[in-house]
Amino acid sequence: MSANPSATTRPTESPGPRAAAFAESLQHTFATAAQALSLDPARVADIQARFAREYAELWSGLLRADAPPPEVKDRRFVSDSWRANRFSAYTAALYLLNARALFELSEAVQADAKTQQRIRFAVQQWVDAAAPSNVWALNPEAMQAAIQTQGESLRRGMDNLLADLRRGKLTQTDESQFEVGRNVATSEGAVVFENPWFQLIDYKPLTAEVHARPLLIVPPCINKYYILDLQPANSLVRYALEQGQRVLLMSWRNPDASCGHWTWDDYVEQGVLRAIAVADEIAAASAMPAKPAARGAAKPAKTEGGGINALGFCVGGTLLGTALAVLAARGEKPVQSATFLTTLLDFSDTGILDVFVDEAQVKLREATIGKGGLLTGVELAAAFSSLRPNDLMWNYVVGNYLKGETPPPFDLLYWNADSTNLPGPMLAWYLRNTYLENKLSKPDAVCVCGVPVAMRRIAIPAYVYASREDHIVPWHSAYASARLLSGPTRFVLGASGHIAGVINPASKGKRSHWRLDAGPRPGKGRTALPASAAAWLEQATEHAGSWWPDWAAWLAAQSGPLQPAPKAYGGGAHKVIEPAPGRYVKVRA
């Protein structure tokens, strides 16, 4: 539906015949679309009428030399270059008019929710790709840069394009300015355990005393762990250390071809469950003996504290929840509390990611890599970038290639570009049993590590955090996941999205969060969570600033008594292997 003025149009020509002809053509197009897609006729007629009217108004303004340029409210066209060039201003305005009509048409489709979402997603991809800002000959900023640099910007842009073609991915930041272990992932620590699936990092305490129960962090295996330790000022790892926690963290291996047979069970058994066992052994080796009840007591002193706390982020939270359900089925309880950050256990509503999952797509993955192979990090990164194409794709196409610019260094985008591969069998199981069939939310509907799992058997205190604008883990789905747990559960909602909501340092005083401080249900020993996310939000109170202090206070209550911080890394049989951040995190996809 693009409509750009012809270069041969004469200024004296009346826009009436053109607008009328276009309106007639448009009416036929809308009628055909309505019949093919089962569109609401009344809404289509309204969209058609408004489009034709505004289209004619734009043409009329373009053909009047004294008419001011149209107001274009879109950050892709905010530069003065777009307003100064009359043709460019109207090109942008016509594009936005077309885009709005397409989006309104997609909303008018009468179909099930999944089909509507896929149509909206497809329209978003097409509309964003078709922006005039993405075409050098239609982008006045790019043309101006070429004139000012005497063509140098074109040469740099071509160099950037060729370099990205060799790398196989779009450059989003100046990666030469970062190095894992030098200026990202810098918290001091040591690797004290490793197997083919992960390394376990034990961080140096930052307080003279630490709580008896260490905190084990399970990051997502889809990205590198250091999103939780980017810089000292925004490191959740460092913040936990400053609160008197002893922090252990899993650093997942970036799978290569030799790992293509790994399964979901492997990630749970050889990954999370093994990390829990090692952390528990370290905790036991570091535990201080309790004071005897009386002098001269003959019985050996018991240890205080006991067990560990665990935290899972995103897919790491799903793996942690699965592991805890396996432990519960086995009658074991080494984990005394769990924190879930933007985690899905109930996959009844998976938000925008649902567009990538249906029976046909899952069967395709099962047939191609389900028995062995890898989903490459490049493919995975491209899928996530397509969720926000303007921000993560076309913005850099314009800057890197059309203008010949080098993107500025940004640690978050460096982490985002440091992608990971995924083993095919693990991914195929994950897609079918969670996103497609939602079996983790159904008691004993699926077996993991040889036992049927049920989230309701997880009866330990839990802290569940969600982000209100999260497009990957919708907050109401995180809330539904919290209601699957049977222990005392605290749910907290933060502002912003999947990453910015989680990585919100308390020291910055930014954003806000919502809490509902409710007591336990009589006789059931769990926090009373209202039946729906909407009911919870209606009762919750908004608080300024980060949710981190609330979580730190909750975690301290689960962490046992304070004791002198350990003087050495590890404990028992677990000795230092190498300094943090270790080898695994440095392997590029």
Q: Is 527's pLDDT higher than 80?
A: no
Q: Give residue-wise pLDDT tens across range 143-181.
A: 999 999 999 999 999 999 999 999 888 999 999 999 999
Rounded CA-CA distance 95/74 in Å is 11
Higher pLDDT, 91 or 41: 91
How many CB atoms are located within 10 Å of the residue 155 CB? 13
Looking at residue 61, its pLDDT comes to 85
Q: Are strands 335-341 and 512-515 parallel, antiparallel or unpaired?
A: unpaired
Give the per-residue pLDDT at 252: 98
Q: Which fold has domain 189-287+304-376+421-586?
A: Rossmann fold (3.40.50)
Average pLDDT over residues 450-458: 97
CA angle 470, 173, 95 (to 5 degrees): 65
> What is the model's pLDDT at position 115?
85
pLDDT digits (tens, 9 = 90+) for 351-403: 888 888 999 999 999 999 999 999 999 898 888 888 889 988 999 999 999 99
Q: Given the DSSP bridges, would you call strands 462-467 and 489-494 parallel, antiparallel or unpaired?
A: parallel
- Please tell me the distance from the alpha carbon of residue 98 to that of residue 104, in angstroms, as a whole number: 10
Q: Please tell me the predicted confidence (pLDDT) of residue 426.
A: 98
When pLDDT is averaged across residues 243-257 and rounded to a whole number, the result is: 97
Rounded average pLDDT over 103-118: 87
Report pLDDT digits (tens) over 275-291: 999 999 999 998 866 55
What's the rounded Cα separation, in Å, for the pair 74 and 321? 42
Q: Quote the tokens at residue 565.
A: 């911080």
Look at residue 3 in the predicted model and tell me its pLDDT: 38
What integer pLDDT is reported at residue 302 of this predicted model?
39
Non-local (6+) Cβ contacts of 37 within 8 A are 109, 111, 119
The sign of the CA dihedral 25, 28, 34, 35 is: negative
- Residue 6 pLDDT exceeds 90: no
- Indicate the range of 2-16, 190-204, 361-375, 469-483 predicted with least confidence: 2-16
| Every domain of the chain and the residues it spans | 15-148, 149-178+377-418, 189-287+304-376+421-586
What is the pLDDT at residue 30? 47
Tens-digit pLDDT profile for residues 288-327: 665 554 455 444 333 345 799 999 999 999 999 999 999 9
pLDDT score of 21 more than 50: no
What is the mean pLDDT of the segment spanning 542-564? 97
Are 184 and 227 in contact, with CB atoms under 8 Å apart?
A: no
Read off the pLDDT band of 67 (50, 70, 90).
Answer: confident
14 has a pLDDT exceeding 50: no
Q: What pLDDT shows up at residue 289?
A: 63
**Which positions ≥6 away from 374 have C-beta within 8 Å?**
255, 256, 257, 259, 260, 421, 422, 423, 424
- In the chain, the percentage of residues whose pLDDT exceeds 70 is 89
Nearest-angstrom CA–CA distance, 465 and 549: 13
- Predicted local confidence at residue 15, as pLDDT: 40
pLDDT tens, 23-66? 454 455 445 544 556 777 888 889 989 999 999 988 888 888 77
Residues 6+ apart with CB under 8 A from 47: 30, 101, 104, 105, 108
Q: Which residues carry out catalysis?
A: 314
User: Which pLDDT score, from 0 to 100, does residue 498 have?
Assistant: 94
What mean pLDDT, rounded, does the chain reach? 89
User: How far from 328 is each of 176, 251, 322, 345, 485, CA to CA, in Å?
Assistant: 46, 25, 10, 16, 12
What is the pLDDT confidence band of residue 464, given thresholds at 50, 70 and 90? very high
Using alpha carbons, list the distances in angstroms from residue 122 to 115, 116, 126, 177, 335: 11, 10, 6, 35, 44
Give Cβ neighbours of residue 308 (< 8 Å, ≥ 6 apart). 213, 214, 215, 216, 248, 276, 279, 280, 283, 334, 335, 336
Quick one: pLDDT band at residue 111, thresholds 50, 70, 90?
confident
So what's the pLDDT on residue 297? 45
Among 589, 184, 185, smallest CA distance to 380 is for 589
pLDDT value of residue 295: 54
What's the mean pLDDT in 483-497?
Answer: 96
Residue labelled with tokens 């007639």 = 24
